Amino acid sequence: MRTIFIEDRKEIEDIIKACKTCFLAMSVDDIPYVLPMNFALDGDSIILHSAQEGRMWETIQKNPKVCINWTLGEDLAYQDVQVGCSYRVKSKSVIVEGPVEFIEDFDEKYRCLEVIMKQYSDREFKFGTPAVKNVGIFKVSIDKLSAKHFGTKAVTPWNS
């Protein structure tokens, strides 16, 4: 089994959209911190939301460079049932790196909340003014994007 780089942007976006959780990695003072988060893909940005306080919020204000991971699939595969190092988890993974931009404009925050909810539901939602004002919204611009497919079978003349 092997790992294949995924280059097709549509396939990468399909992986992201199929996930319900992303993992946001950040660091300050050489201390790494990772959180599972809800998200939305919005063109060349990832939209995230949270309270406007706490460890995550303070960390990204001090160091707005972050990394986001999505992983789709958890099936176990192996080449030889007797050989431990032939086992792999069949999955697809996407990694984005980029800077955080904090969104303050009310209308843009409202729009971002709508985009986030479209990731999880086809329903239309309304958001009250206090909820929009009090939520922290930030976007991560996609500076670096990479994706891989893990645990695929190698194509050889006898199994193609």
Per-residue pLDDT, 36 = 97
Per-residue pLDDT, 145 = 97
Residue 68 burial (CB count, 10 A):
21
Per-residue pLDDT, 18 = 95
CATH superfamily of 2-46+55-102+140-152: Electron Transport, Fmn-binding Protein; Chain A (2.30.110.10)
Task: Write out residues in the chain with pLDDT < 50, as ranges.
Answer: 154-160
Token digits of residue 110: 């409202």
Per-residue pLDDT, 1 = 56
pLDDT tens sequence across 110-148: 999 999 999 999 999 999 999 999 999 999 999 999 999
Exposure class string for 96-117: b at 16+ Cβ within 10 A, else e: bbbebeebeeeeebbebbebbb
Domain range summary for the chain, segments of one domain joined by +: 2-46+55-102+140-152
Per-residue pLDDT, 158 = 39
